[in-house]
Amino acid sequence: MTTLCLFLTLSAGMGGSARVLQAPLPFGSLRQQLTLEYIRQHYDPAAKDILIHPRMIVIHWTGSSSLKSLLATFEPDELPPGRPELVRGGRVNVSTHYAVDRDGTIYQLMPKLWMARHTIGLNRVALGIENVGGPDTALTEAQLSSCAWLTRKLVKECPDIEYLIGHFEYLQFKGTPLWEERNSEYLTQKPDPAAEFMSRLRERLKDLPLRNSYHPYALQDPYHGRHSGETNAPLKFATQ
């Protein structure tokens, strides 16, 4: 099924005041190559690109208290050696497509149809939203409102999205057609962004038919076809 995902850099909403600011991570040829290597190692040895087909949104928290700290973590092309549980899974650094700061400001960090390393087994069907905070720094009401607004925006832009999960829920998809991880031992336990936050987010989005577990009538071939006009050509982001 072909999906048109619009790549927007500025959106109106929440009374016309909400927008997505651009804060592009370095994503040059090295990071693209490392991403492709990760895909070939974990998902498809014959993969030729880093495109994804969004079927779900995964909500995260950073575990830190500032956007500056988040960006410093995401900016290197390669994982630091201090994360051995992830380094064994490949060299490419972690990232998400979006970040939400404490005041609710939303930043797009990378093209949304390129794969970000953020959720084991599901990276080629998942858009990631990272919230600054947790576990000792509670996420804010502003972040809750922004996550709800951004989810609605992404569902409109990518009509094949039918799942909304917290990172702590990702293992519910193990063994389903959406799960691609080839290494059965490459798994981690995640607490973010906490069940209470996801419950409140779902309450705000209860008019949308978004699930948190696999549905047997899910679409087939979630990633092998080409689903958008977006390509691997480098995109030019405006400066913040």
pLDDT tens by residue, 80-118: 988 888 888 999 999 999 999 999 999 999 999 999 999
Q: Give the C-alpha separation, 162 to 56, whole Å.
A: 6
Domain extent for 47: 20-204
Provide the pLDDT for residue 48: 98
3-state secondary structure of 233: coil
**Cis peptide preceding 177, ω within 30 of 0:** no
The answer as to whether 55 is a domain residue is yes
The answer as to whether 237 is a domain residue is no
The answer as to whether 150 is a domain residue is yes
Q: pLDDT by residue (tens digit) across 15-49?
A: 334 589 999 999 999 999 999 999 999 999 999 99
The answer as to whether 27 is a domain residue is yes
Provide the angle, in degrees to the nearest 10, between the axes of the packed helices 195-204 and 141-157: 60
Domain CATH number, residue 41: 3.40.80.10
Q: Please compute the mean of the pLDDT values over residues 158-165 and round it to a whole number.
A: 97
Tokens of 144: 């809750």
Provide the pLDDT for residue 217: 62
Helix, strand, coil share of the chain (percent; to 5): 25, 10, 60
HSE, CB side, 13 Å, CA atoms: give it for residue 230.
26
Alpha-carbon dihedral sign for residues 82, 83, 88, 91: negative
Percent of the chain whose pLDDT exceeds 90: 78
The answer as to whether 231 is a domain residue is no
The answer as to whether 108 is a domain residue is yes
The answer as to whether 179 is a domain residue is yes
HSE, CB side, 13 Å, CA atoms: give it for residue 108.
23
The answer as to whether 43 is a domain residue is yes
- Model pTM score: 0.85
Residues 95, 116: contact at Cβ < 8 Å? yes
Q: Please compute the mean of the pLDDT values over residues 171-178 and round it to a whole number.
A: 96
Residues 99, 63: contact at Cβ < 8 Å? no
Number of structural domains the chain divides into: 1
Q: pLDDT by residue (tens digit) across 41-71?
A: 999 999 999 999 999 999 999 999 999 999 9
- 137 backbone dihedrals φ, ψ, rounded to 5°: -110, 105
